[in-house]
Structure 1
Amino acid sequence: MSSLALLPSQKPPETREGAARVPPESLIYDWNQVEAPPRPPQPFGLIDETLRDGIQSPSATNPSLEDKLELIELMQAIGVDAVNLGMPCASPRALADVVAMSRHIQARRLTLTPAVAARTVLSDVEKVIDAVQQGGMPLTLYVFIGASSLRQWAEGWSLDFLASASAHTIGFAVREGLEVAFVTEDTSRSSPEILDRLFRTALGQGARRLVLCDTVGHATPAGARALVRWTRQLIASTGCPGQVEWHGHNDRGLGLDNALAALSAGADRLQACGLGVGERVGNTAMDVLLLNLKLLGWYTHDLSRLADYTRKVSEALRIPIPFNHPLSGEDAFRTGTGVHAAALIKALGRGGGRLADHLYSSVPAQEFGREQRIEVGFMSGLSNVRFWLQSRGLPSDEALCQEVLCWAKERDSLPREEEILQVVETHRRRRQSAG
């Protein structure tokens, strides 16, 4: 597409220097702060599930090992503190990849804590032990089992069976030296009686994390808060050390809202996947979660490589980025509308890239590795065309600008850059012939 990146160092055409530089934040009244939730008092972490739950999407491709290693590096770059490397029991390749990724984390001295997943089955845990021995570094084991009455009815399980299988598997893993997180599938639709029995069993066997799963995206923010608070009270009543994690899906479009609600209610760690990929409509999107945590002031890590991370997730899993996806979508920071473009150009002249970033966006593009872009199209005005031409060192006389604008307005979609340049060249040749 034809476009112009408004870079911080780039001066807009035909603007004067000397205008007062005003911090854009001082010009914004933020209603979000009127009834804003308090900053979470507890330190919290983030675990990236892209290489486990993310690749369970029916539309995802299992990335090559090279792509997985590059993704791990980018997870480190955006400040994620843990990564689920997959399920070693799934296949020989899955085991080999977990071992290779573990070795990479060690060799590169990354601060990421590696984790893996397994069913509450001893043979699954034995594969995890193999991965630890071959990879040469500890792995946190996320061992999962279905919990809700609905799941029990479908599977023909009893609560006694679930408690016994959980105790047996967790006890074995802990004795083998593994740190264990206990994952109850469909937690958000499980009764307190079921969860009380299973959680006390897991903590008693040495599990140190309880993962609350909104497996089918059933929860609302109110439900997420209630579940997290109830679980924290249960842990406190046992006297056992334990932390709470939240794992959310996006079936009702509430993945982000639920994650933030869980965090404000006391969750110690949030799970998410790049671009929100995963089963059905996917998981909480790690990139959108980080974006909002940063804008809330709850996350201080540099996120200038966040767009690189989402692009790599898209490339590695062969999942296209929706054009309107927050932050990373093609349309996130571009406009072809005349009145918007004119205002952006003025903002660039008066306050630089930071003011332009805030004028028609709630997200400061530069802070997250993106930039504002101006297009020429059927909704454009002369400001779009003039700026587009001048920034490329091309003539921008009135006749040419009017010709390009009239041509663009006759189209049903935004033209490509080479198409606009062809109009410019045709105009030049016609003037030469006339001269």
Structure 2
Amino acid sequence: MDRLFRDVFPFTEPPRVKVVNWAKTVLSKIYLTDTTLRDGQQGWKYLSVEEGLEIYELLHEIGGKGSIRSTEVFLYTGRDRALAKAIMEKGYEYPKPVAWIRASLQDLNLVSETGLDEAVVLMSISDYHIVYKFNSTRDVVIGKYISVAEEAFKRGIKVKASLEDVTRADLDNVVIPFLQKLINLSEKYGVQLKVKLPDTLGVGMPFEFVPPPRGIPALVTRIREKTGLPEEDIEFHGHNDLGLAVANHLAAWFYGAASSNVTLLGIGERAGNCPLEVMAIHYAGIKGLSDINLKPLGRVRELFEKMGYRVPDHLPILGKNAFKTKAGIHADGLLKNPEVYLPFDPYYLLGIPVGVEITPHSGRAAVALWLKQVLGEDSISKDSQAIQQIFDEVVQLFEKTGRTQPLTDEEMLEIASKYYPKLREKR
């Protein structure tokens, strides 16, 4: 009897996530927030208003039903403010534009002038920042944060306290007492407080047995238990310096930080952020497709490359190689049944076709798969004489020329059209 685990791997949907009863959160409450127009722009290039709006429109297509709750925007330049205003004029409920500012009254005034009602306020919390960046003391720096937060609450501006470098901070003696003061102010003025937990250097680890400050499960759990903050008011923002951004974001979801702060393609400072497209797949695997539209993800690469961004070929989900094979054994499996080497149907979900490139290591199966895709015919067999002849020519070409790169579609058409006359009209 076949055991294909269809309840986990439906193929026409992302793989489903089944969580046993140790999960410390209600996964129906999870959502995404975006910082492509803030951290992404900061780590890439200064976007025009038109470029920023194109990105925002795409985010709305993906998460406009509520899966992407917000997008962060700068307010420092005239162009920043023009983009924020243009986004506000769209009138979309989601993603909601949220200001990103430093903890200063000058920056807070920009929020008031722009008319936004929520701001992410940068509040660097580790002693690395307090001592070495600010050359100050905990009491002085935290006192400044408190005064800015209180002024924001007085003005009716919601605050998302961004505790920069929290994965290198003193949790029990600094972070939690500080949060308790912010909570008291929020309750005093009746204005919402949210908390953002940035793993600024990507040093977090996703394992329950790793203690704070590096252990993300322990960090989130301790904050929830000590402050009483609900999971929907806690956000995680992880960098990818040590390659664990996605794992840490998933851990944060499972342990009670409902908001996952991400960027398209993972663009951002240094090694980048957690990629939205990857978390969108996991989101759909956990919650289903009712409030997220994965199809627009297939246009992300084209949009960013038009803007001058070089998308890495081997990037998960959206790299050119993500659903492409050169290996003979993989091509053979795909030829027999796409589910053998695909976790889901990328064309059905994302509009991204499965690709194949031809080298001597690709074998006859890859040639047959390439022909099947070009001709749209299912009856092509890798064991046919024509396939063998095409593959022989491929091998001879590589041996004679010393070539190392796969053949282009045009080169394959030139060879294969000798044996499949139908291909001549495609040249």
TM over 0.5: yes
Shift of 1:274: 1.1
Render the CA deviation track for 1:256-288: whole Å, top value 9, x for unaligned. Answer: 111111111111211011111111101111111
Kept in 2, the 8 Å contact 1:229–1:265? The answer is yes
Residue number in structure 2 paired with 1:3: none
Q: 2: CA distance between counterparts of 1:31 and 1:129? A: 43
- Give the 3 Å change call, closer, same or farther, for CA 378–82 of structure 1 in structure 2: same
Could you tell me the TM-score, scaled by structure 1's length? 0.79
1:162 counterpart letter in structure 2: V
Hey, what does 1:78 align to over in structure 2? 62
Equivalent residue, structure 1, for 2:212: none
- Distance of 1:282 and 1:85 partners within structure 2: 16
Which residue of the partner structure matches residue 284 of structure 1?
274
Please say if 1:177 is aligned against 2:150.
Answer: no
1:415 alignment partner, one of 397, 402, 407: 407
Q: CA deviation at 1:302?
A: 3.1
Q: Which residue of 2 aligns with 1:376?
A: 358
Tell me the equivalent position of 1:49.
Answer: 35
Counterpart amino acid of residue 121 in structure 1 = S
- Measured in 2, the distance between the counterparts of 1:205 and 1:33 equals 39
Distance 1:302 1:28, change over 3 A: closer
The within-5 A match list for 1:310-329 is: 310-316=301-307, 318-329=308-319
SS in 1 for 2:123: strand
Counterpart of 1:123 in structure 2 is 106
2:166 to 179, 184, 187: 187
Matches within 5 A, 1:137-148: 138-148=116-126
How far, CA to CA, are the matches of 1:213 and 1:49 in structure 2?
A: 12
| Structure 2 counterpart of 1:81, one-letter code | I
What are the residue-to-residue correspondences of 1:306-345 with 2, within 5 Å? Answer: 306-316=297-307, 318-345=308-335
3-state DSSP class of the match of 1:51? helix
Give me the CA root mean square deviation: 3.3
Q: Deviations over 1:298-320 (max 9, x none)?
A: 6652312222235434544x332
Alignment correspondent of 2:257? 267
Query: Is 2:396 the counterpart of 1:401?
Result: no
Rounded to whole Å, the distance in 2 between the matches of 1:298 and 1:367 is 12
Corresponding residue for 2:144?
165
The one-letter amino acid of 1:95's match is: R
Residues 259 and 27 (structure 1), Cα distance of their counterparts in 2 relative to 1, 3 Å cut: closer
1:92 and 1:32, CA in 2 relative to 1: closer, same or farther beyond 3 A?
Answer: closer
CA displacement at 1:145 relative to structure 2: 1.8
> Counterparts of 2:22 and 2:351 in 1: how far apart (Å)?
28
Aligned 8 A contact 1:311 1:328 in 2: no
Partner secondary structure for residue 195 of structure 2: strand
- Alignment-mate amino acid for residue 212 of structure 1: L
- Which stretch of structure 1 is more off in the superposition, 328-337 or 262-271? 328-337
Partner of 1:149: 127
- Aligned-partner residue type, residue 103 of structure 2: T
1:359-378 deviation per Cα after TM superposition (whole angstroms, max 9, x unaligned): 10224313233222233322
Separation in structure 2 between the aligned mates of residue 110 and residue 260 of structure 1, nearest angstrom: 25
1:225 paired to 2:217? yes
Q: What's the secondary structure of 1:78's corresponding residue?
A: helix
TM-score normalised to the size of structure 2? 0.81
Q: Kindly tell me: are residues 251 and 169 of structure 1, through their superposed partners in 2, closer, same or farther at Cα, counting changes over 3 Å? A: same
CA gap 1:343/1:217 in 2 versus in 1, 3 angstroms: closer
Which residue in 2 is equivalent to 1:10?
none
SS in structure 2 at match of 1:205: helix
**Aligned residue runs from structure 1 range 21-60, under 5 A:** 25=6, 38=23, 40-41=25-26, 43-57=29-43, 60=44
User: Counterpart amino acid of 2:73?
Assistant: G
- Distance, in Å, in 2 between the alignment partners of 1:147 and 1:394 is 58
- Which consecutive unaligned segments of at least 5 residues does structure 1 have? 1-20, 133-137, 348-355, 430-435
Paired with 2:296 and 2:5, the residues of 1 have a C-alpha distance of 23
Residue equivalent to 2:340:
359
The match for 1:69 among 26, 31, 53 is: 53
Partners of 2:108 and 2:9 lie apart in 1 by 53
Q: 1:24 to 1:368 in 2, by over 3 A?
A: farther
CA distance in 2: counterparts of 1:323 and 1:93, whole angstroms: 32
Within 1, Cα distance between the matches of 2:138 and 2:203? 22
- Decide whether the 8 Å contact of 1:50 with 1:273 is kept in 2: yes
Q: 1:412 to 1:22 in 2, by over 3 A?
A: same
Unaligned runs of 5+ in 2: 187-191, 208-214, 422-427
Work out whether residues 49 and 82 of structure 2, in 8 Å CA contact, stay in contact via their aligned partners in 1.
no
| Matched positions, count | 386
- Partner residue in 2 for 1:111: 94
SS of the residue aligned with 2:295?
Answer: coil
| Distance apart, 1:113 and its partner CA | 1.6
Given that residues 273 and 286 in structure 1 are in contact (C-alpha distance below 8 angstroms), is that contact kept between their aligned partners in structure 2?
yes
